Structure 1
Amino acid sequence: MKLWKALGLAGVAGVAATGVIIARDQRQRAQLTPDEVRERLHARLDEMTAEQGDA
């Protein structure tokens, strides 16, 4: 029975850690202005097209 308890606690800790990571990522995204998001997307597109052109 102790094994199941340990596995359950490990599962709960994993879910909590995942929630913390998701919340932190969401806060970072919420701080971006639409112009910053647009600039980042354009930069990523330029990088991808440059890589495809090289290949």
Structure 2
Amino acid sequence: MRAWKLLGLAGILAGVATGAAVARDERVRRHYDAGEIRERLHQRHDEAVARESADGSTAG
């Protein structure tokens, strides 16, 4: 029975740690203004297009 209690406690602690990590990431993310987010999204899109065109050119 004690093992189940420890396992449950470990699960609860893992949930709390995950929640704390998500909250920290959310705080960091909110520090960007709209222009910075737009710029980063455009950059990621350009990288994805470049990767896709590189993959497509070798497949043909």
| TM interval, short-chain normalised | over 0.9
Verify: 1:26 aligned to 2:26, yes or no: yes
Return the letter of the residue paired with 1:16.
Answer: V
| SS of corresponding position for 2:18 | helix
TM-score by length of 1: 0.96
Larger Rg: 2
Give the total of aligned pairs.
55
**Alignment RMSD (CA, Å):** 0.5
TM-score of the two chains, using structure 2 as the length reference:
0.88
Query: What is the rounded CA distance, in whole Å, between the counterparts of 2:8 and 2:49 in structure 1?
Result: 46
- Mark the runs of 5 or more structure 2 residues left unpaired by the alignment: 56-60
Identity fraction in percent? 47
Unaligned runs of 5+ in 1: none
